[in-house]
Structures are given as C-alpha cells and as structure tokens.
C-alpha cells in the first residue's frame, strides 16, 4: 500500500533512475502521504522550478467553474459547462464545431470546451480568467508560484529531434484564450497544495464543490471521466483520481489516492516525459487494476485521423501496435511517437505498459472509430 510501503527518501532514487532511462532533460516530483511531503528534482532544476503543467490546468478550471457558473445551463452554443468540462458536448479538439457524424455522441477530448468555460467564468465575474483563478483558487491555496506568465526561472520545454533527441523550445508564447485548458505554470509544492485541498484539506472549495468535480460523467477507455479529472481503479482495488498534461515540450501528471490521503505530482520538460512518468508510477505501485482479457472483437486495425491528429493501428502479436502523430498547438511542431505496443486490458480496452497512464489507452467505441489516447478519431476516408 502506498501509505505504508514507500520508505522515506526513495522518490529521489526512483526519479533519478527514471530520468536516466528515459533521457528526459529534467524532472521534479513530489509525494504527499497523510500530511507528509517528500520531493525531489533532477537534471539541473529544483523542486521550486516552475514547469508548464499543461492540462493539469483543466482540474483547476473545472474547480473554478463550480464557484461561478451554473454547470447545467446550456449557455455555450447549446452545451452546458458540465458537458464541456466532461468532454461530452461533441465538440472537436480545438474548435466548437461538431465531431464528424460517425463520432457524434462519443466521449472525446476538447480543449475548445475548456476555453469556452474559462471565458464564461471570466464573463460571470467581470474580469480576466487568469485574475478570477488567482483570486478564487491560487491565492487562497497559497499557490503563489503559479500563474500564466512565464516565470524568469522556469524550465524550458523540449520537443523531439529525430527518433531519440531533444530540441529546446525557445518560443512558447501561449495565447491567453487557451489558458483555461493548459496554460498554467506551477511547481511541485504548489500542485501538492492543490492536491491536499482535494484530499479534504483546508481551502476555498466546499466539499460539495469538490465532489462535483470528481463525480463520474462518462465512461471511456476503461475508466470514468469526471470534470477535469479521470477516476479509475488501481491494482488492489484502490481508487485513484488523475490527470496528465502535454503541451509545448512539457508533460506532467497529478494522481491522488483519496483513501490513503496520498498524492503524486511529476513534472517534466520533454515530449518524452511520459516515459519517465510511467516508470515513477510503476515503481510506486500505482498501476491500473488488471482487468483480464475480454472480448477484443471490436478492434479494427487501420488509419484514423481528425484535424491533423493521426494514428495507425496494426496487429502486433496478441495485441496491437499504434503509431501516432499530431501538431503541438503552441509550437507548431509535428510530434511523431515511435510505434508502441498495446495489450488487451479487457472490455475492449488496450493499454500501453499495463495501462499505467490514461494517455496511453485505446478502444474502439463503435465501428469506424478508434479512441486513441483521448481523441475519437474516425477511420480515414470514413
């Protein structure tokens, strides 16, 4: 069990080894267990170094929305804030246009929905979204190192260069309208402050508001999506809340185990950061609960694409192999992931590395659609 099975001081060892094996330029991590904090950094950064936490911002945006919006009012092109925050409004990844007909009605990740809700929060409070978030969440929680302007001492992101190399991102200007979906700069201590509040520690959100964000809204990829956060089972039957983030050469994870009053945050400055994160999660025993093999008849190898995101799914031994590519909306770089295998986890869901991260899951919710990672992609030519 996490609460009793990890000796003090082991996190630094785990992160250092994971960085060595993954080649990630730098990483910082923190572990909160029953009020005690252990943190570390490696690769020329410190625990207090700000990283862009990418889509971890969504958990904060959803929390903010519970304080200033009616979540069920159809105020956004006929969609409600609840639908947008749970990715069930049927919007495309980067625009409020509807998904292709073959994918309509499916859960599919949409940054555009979070931009709309953030703008709604700003309008409801008569000020900029960044100021609303600071006044209602960041300052009350003591998250003084967190914000949307690049700090002078922040880490630089790194995108891939060739198959194994890295190139530092020199220009990562982030449009203000995108802030609600992934623009926050933060640190390990600040993200653990947010996590501690989610674990019922003191802070500005009421219990009812916190409960709204973690109530399941849709089933996808073998887990439940709530408002800005996944809810899934870990090995041993423990329940976890988690979200990962990836933008402009940064990848991150925030994972909570409420029953053990435990939280893990891992921040990296690489598009390959998920490789490091997976190793840390595995070493801490936070892998998904094994589902056993189920009926995988729905699997449809082929090429899938939507709005510049592409995936090729092939048979590979007893499982599948996936090749992905997509354009980073901030840097404009096309990111191509090396082909990776996914194994059947049961219930039509496939997972990379045992399904350690929700970002590396695959399912086929209906004929002609593959949900790769978090996007419902129609078969090419459909």
Provide the pLDDT for residue 92.
Answer: 97
Provide the pLDDT for residue 211.
Answer: 97
HEC-encoded secondary structure of the chain: CHHHHCCCCHHHHHHHHHHHHHCCCCEEEEEEECCEEEEEEECCCCCCCCEECHHHHHHHHHHHHHHHCCCCCCCECCECHHHHHCCCCCECCCCCCECCHHHCCCCCCCHHHHHHHHHHHHHHHCCCHHHHHHHHHHCCCCCCCCECCCCCCCCCCEEEECCCEEEECCCCCCCHHHHHHHCCEECHHHHHHHHHHHCCCCCCCCHHHHHHHCCCCEEECCEEECCCCEEEEECCCCEEEEEEEEECCEEEEEEEEHHHCEEEEEEECCCCHHHHHHHHHHHCCCCECCCCCCCCCCCCCEEEEECCEEEEEEEECCEEEEEEEEECCCCCCEEEEEEEEEEEEECCEEEHHHHCCHHHEEEEEECCEEEECCEEEEECCC
Provide the pLDDT for residue 20.
Answer: 95
Residue 250 above 60 pLDDT? yes
Q: Provide the phi-psi class of 55: left if phi over 0, else alpha when psi is between -120 and 50, else beta.
A: alpha
Please tell me the least confidently modeled range out of 120-134, 144-158, 225-239, 280-294.
280-294
Tens digit of pLDDT for each residue in 150-185?
999 999 999 877 766 789 998 888 999 999 999 999
Provide the pLDDT for residue 347.
Answer: 84
- Find the mean pLDDT for residues 59-71: 98
Is pLDDT larger for residue 7 or for residue 82? 82
Provide the pLDDT for residue 5.
Answer: 45
Provide the pLDDT for residue 351.
Answer: 87
Provide the pLDDT for residue 6.
Answer: 43
User: In percent, how much of the chain has pLDDT > 70?
Assistant: 94
Provide the pLDDT for residue 51.
Answer: 98
Tens digit of pLDDT for each residue in 1-42?
444 444 457 999 999 999 999 999 999 999 999 899 999 999
Provide the pLDDT for residue 3.
Answer: 43
Provide the pLDDT for residue 120.
Answer: 98
Provide the pLDDT for residue 8.
Answer: 56
Residue 370 CA: distances (Å) to CA of 90, 143, 220, 354: 15, 39, 12, 19
Provide the pLDDT for residue 1.
Answer: 40
Provide the pLDDT for residue 313.
Answer: 96
Q: What is the band of 91 on the pLDDT scale with cuts at 50, 70, 90?
A: very high
Is pLDDT larger for residue 118 or for residue 238? 118
Q: Which long-range contacts (CB under 8 A, 24 or more apart) does 362-367 make?
A: 362/221, 362/313, 362/320, 362/322, 363/220, 363/221, 363/222, 363/298, 364/298, 364/299, 364/300, 365/106, 365/107, 365/220, 366/102, 366/106, 367/298, 367/300
Please tell me the least confidently modeled range out of 63-77, 84-98, 120-134, 309-323.
309-323
Provide the pLDDT for residue 357.
Answer: 78
Q: Report d(CA 79, CA 112) in Å as an integer.
A: 12
Extract the tokens encoding 379: 């078969």
Sequence-distant (6+) residues with CB within 8 A of 197 are: 141, 203, 204, 205, 210
Tens digit of pLDDT for each residue in 183-210?
999 999 999 999 999 999 999 999 999 9
Please tell me the least confidently modeled range out of 29-43, 56-70, 321-335.
321-335
Residue 216 above 80 pLDDT? yes
Residue 329 above 90 pLDDT? no
Residue 354 above 90 pLDDT? no
- Find the mean pLDDT for residues 56-84: 98
pTM of the model: 0.94
- Find the mean pLDDT for residues 263-279: 95
- Find the mean pLDDT for residues 217-223: 94
């Amino acid at each position: 069990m996490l609460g009793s099975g990890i000796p003090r001081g082991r996190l630094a060892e785990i992160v250092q080894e994971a960085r060595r094996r993954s080649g990630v330029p730098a990483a910082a991590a923190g572990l909160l267990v029953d009020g005690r904090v252990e943190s570390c950094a490696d690769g020329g950064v410190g625990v207090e170094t700000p990283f862009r936490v990418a889509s971890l911002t969504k958990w904060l945006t959803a929390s903010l929305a519970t304080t200033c919006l009616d979540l069920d009012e159809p105020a956004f092109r006929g969609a409600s804030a609840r639908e947008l925050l749970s990715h069930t409004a049927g919007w495309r990844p980067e625009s409020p246009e509807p998904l292709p007909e073959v994918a309509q009605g499916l859960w599919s990740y949409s940054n555009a929905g979070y931009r709309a809700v953030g703008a709604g929060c700003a309008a409801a409070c008569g000020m900029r979204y960044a100021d609303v978030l600071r006044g209602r969440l960041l300052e009350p929680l003591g998250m003084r190192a967190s914000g949307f302007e690049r700090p002078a001492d922040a880490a630089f992101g790194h995108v891939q260069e060739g198959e194994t190399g890295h190139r530092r991102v020199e220009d990562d200007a982030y449009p203000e309208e995108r802030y609600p979906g992934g623009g926050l700069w933060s640190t390990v201590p600040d993200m653990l402050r947010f996590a501690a509040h989610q674990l019922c520690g003191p802070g500005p959100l009421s219990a009812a508001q916190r409960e709204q964000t973690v109530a399941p809204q849709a089933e996808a990829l073998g887990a439940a999506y709530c408002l800005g956060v996944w809810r899934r089972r870990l090995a041993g039957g423990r329940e976890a809340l988690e979200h990962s983030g990836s933008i402009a050469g940064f990848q991150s994870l925030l994972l909570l185990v409420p029953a053990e009053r435990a939280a893990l945050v891992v921040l990296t400055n690489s598009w390959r950061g998920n490789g490091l994160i997976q190793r840390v999660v595995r070493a801490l025993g936070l892998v998904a609960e094994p589902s056993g093999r189920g009926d995988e008849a729905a699997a449809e190898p082929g090429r899938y694409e939507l709005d510049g995101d592409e995936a090729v799914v092939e048979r590979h031994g007893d499982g599948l192999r996936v090749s992905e590519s997509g354009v980073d909306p901030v840097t404009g770089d096309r990111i191509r992931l090396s082909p990776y295998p996914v194994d059947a986890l049961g219930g039509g869901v496939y997972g990379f590395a045992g399904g350690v991260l929700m970002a590396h899951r695959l399912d086929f919710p209906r004929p002609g659609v593959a949900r790769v990672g978090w996007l419902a992609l129609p078969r090419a030519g459909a």
